[in-house]
Copies of this chain bind each other. A is one copy, B any other.
Amino acid sequence: MTRQIHVCLLDMPTVSHNNYGLWAHPSNRHADYKSLEFWLDVARLLERGLFDGLFFADVLGIAEGFGGGPQTALREGAHVPSHDPLLLISAMASVTRHLAFAATVSTTYEPPFALARRMSTLDHLTKGRIGWNVVTSYLPTAAANFGFAAEMEHDARYERAEEYMEVCYKLWESSWADDAVLADRAGQIYTDPAKVRPIDHSGPFFSVRGPHLAEPSPQRTPVIFQAGSSGRGAAFAARHAEGVFVGGYTYDGLASFVAELRAKAAVAGRHPRQLKTFVHAHVLTAPSDALAKAKLADFNRWSRAEGYIAHRFGAGLDLARHPPERRLEDIIAEGGPGSAHMARYPHRADATVGDIIQEIGQLESKRFFVAGTPVEVADTLEAWCERYDLDGFLLAQHTTPGTAADFIDLIVPELQKRGRYRRAYAPDETFRERLLGKGQTGLPRGHPGHAWRQHRPI
């Protein structure tokens, strides 16, 4: 049986995300990110296109990747100004019945008790259509917004994240029994107190008593996403992630990275196919090859390198301070600000500063970029899934609603013809069931969160 391809739209409540300069294209509505109606339209469109979900990125500081200050990101609308993505979800859920919503929330800056209730709230309101993209944050400017002198060291962030997950699992999985809520009107008892327990968590980073404030939601634990490209990140993903973003900025070794990730998950006691692998895909399509090429040329005229640079080098490595002929690898080797972060995202070995500035703004320079007819795009998507053992794509947008509308009108029918894309949503399906199959509403056996079920009050 051919495997279904999972597709989420990648978005962020900001002016520009993942494509810079294009916000100003006459067909692009994304500068309306402040308007509720804009988001309702996006949600309706994606549900019409039978997308798995809408996936929200987020950052808590400004990427100062070009010129050593916020000016480039501000000028380009590159992730700034931005809004809190969690606050959009109930509105979009109210005009959809099936579309899932995943949002990025950092474990570094906000307390787990509050985050756990937020996720439970949304899981209830959406009837189980919620996912959480766990990030540990990497921007020094975010650290400065939350009272830290510097960004916490990468591995320390992951140690903290590991304990953060444990606190959340305890709240979601172990604090309330399945039958704790009686809602007994005749007896006037809402909850049976014997079926609710504090979690009494005490660890190096967190001390949380509980009980959880929310009653058990459809999925209890939201579907966990994570981008595990570093060694520590991959270990975290192999343990916790149900959807994992692979790929970074290179194809090199991706197939073996995915194989190792699944192997690590198996060693950790999980079913390796219960990790769904995703990459960011940059897709541009039109009914004919000539039209697709013309669209690419048009978009490239609007595209601007500066926003890409500010974003990708946001951890602090400032290209503007180096001459164009300098090789990136040499700058990284020097070990200045942001170089440790960039070392984890390999670039072409011989790329100079000048090369990067020249290439980065061209749409076709992105990994997992494809432009062509629906048949060509579908061929490519299928080939990627095959070659790298991918389960799906986060669709990056060039324009809104253009990119998603084209995908829905042109690519989806082609994928459906090939048996690779659903023809209808399953009724009353949670997000986790959509990824793992009917009946798998809660965490599956083998997942570290699943183990906390045994501590539920009897």
A208 closest partner in B (C-beta): B145
For A114, the chain B residues whose CB sits under 8 A away are 60, 84, 109-110, 146
A118 closest partner in B (C-beta): B84
Choose from B26, B69, B190 the contact partner of A74 (Cβ within 8 Å): B190
Choose from B69, B83, B120 the contact partner of A83 (Cβ within 8 Å): B120
Contact mask A120-153 → B, CB, 8 Å, 1/0?
A: 1110111000000000000001001111000000
Given contacts A89-B87, A94-B95, whether A121 and B214 have CB atoms under 8 Å apart is no
Give the shortest distance, in Å, between A296 (CB) and chain B (any CB). Answer: 18
> Is A196's CB within 8 Å of the partner chain B?
yes
Q: Are B94 and A125 in contact (CB under 8 A)?
A: no
For A80, the chain B residues whose CB sits under 8 A away are 191, 211, 213
Choose from B81, B87, B209 the contact partner of A118 (Cβ within 8 Å): B87
* CA A67 to CA B11, docked complex, whole Å: 49
Q: Are B24 and A188 in contact (CB under 8 A)?
A: yes
* CA A184 to CA B117, docked complex, whole Å: 40
Residue with the greatest number of chain B CB neighbours at <10 A, chosen from A84, A146, A198: A84
For A61, the chain B residues whose CB sits under 8 A away are 213
* CA A188 to CA B22, docked complex, whole Å: 9
* CA A77 to CA B80, docked complex, whole Å: 41
Q: Are A145 and B87 in contact (CB under 8 A)?
A: no
Q: Are B84 and A117 in contact (CB under 8 A)?
A: yes
A304 closest partner in B (C-beta): B188
> Is A34's CB within 8 Å of the partner chain B?
yes
Q: Are A71 and B21 in contact (CB under 8 A)?
A: no
Given contacts A145-B208, A210-B145, whether A193 and B34 have CB atoms under 8 Å apart is no
Give the shortest distance, in Å, between A410 (CB) and chain B (any CB). Answer: 27
A187 closest partner in B (C-beta): B24
Q: Are B113 and A185 in contact (CB under 8 A)?
A: no
Q: Are B120 and A193 in contact (CB under 8 A)?
A: no
Q: Are B145 and A209 in contact (CB under 8 A)?
A: yes
* CA A207 to CA B70, docked complex, whole Å: 19
Q: Are A74 and B109 in contact (CB under 8 A)?
A: no
Q: Are A87 and B125 in contact (CB under 8 A)?
A: yes
For A24, the chain B residues whose CB sits under 8 A away are 184-186, 188
Chain A, 71-87, CB within 8 A of any chain B CB: 71-72, 74-77, 80-84, 86-87
For A110, the chain B residues whose CB sits under 8 A away are 110-111, 114
> Is A206's CB within 8 Å of the partner chain B?
yes
For A34, the chain B residues whose CB sits under 8 A away are 124-125, 215
Q: Are A31 and B190 in contact (CB under 8 A)?
A: yes
Give the shortest distance, in Å, between A217 (CB) and chain B (any CB). Answer: 8
> Is A351's CB within 8 Å of the partner chain B?
no
Chain A, 295-309, CB within 8 A of any chain B CB: 302, 304
> Is A93's CB within 8 Å of the partner chain B?
yes
For A184, the chain B residues whose CB sits under 8 A away are 24
> Is A36's CB within 8 Å of the partner chain B?
yes
> Is A259's CB within 8 Å of the partner chain B?
no
> Is A228's CB within 8 Å of the partner chain B?
no
Can you name 16 A-B pairs with beta carbons within 8 Å? A23-B190, A36-B94, A70-B196, A74-B191, A74-B196, A75-B191, A75-B192, A80-B191, A81-B213, A87-B87, A87-B89, A87-B90, A88-B121, A90-B91, A110-B114, A145-B210
Known: A74-B191, A145-B209. 17 other contacts (CB 8 A): A26-B185, A31-B190, A34-B125, A35-B124, A35-B125, A60-B114, A75-B189, A80-B191, A81-B213, A87-B89, A109-B114, A110-B114, A113-B145, A144-B208, A145-B210, A146-B208, A188-B302
Q: Which residues of chain A have a CB within 8 Å of any CB of chain B?
A: 13, 15-16, 21, 23-24, 26, 31, 34-36, 40, 60-62, 69-72, 74-77, 80-84, 86-91, 93-95, 109-111, 113-114, 117-118, 120-122, 124-126, 141, 144-147, 181, 183-186, 188-193, 196, 198, 206-211, 213-215, 302, 304
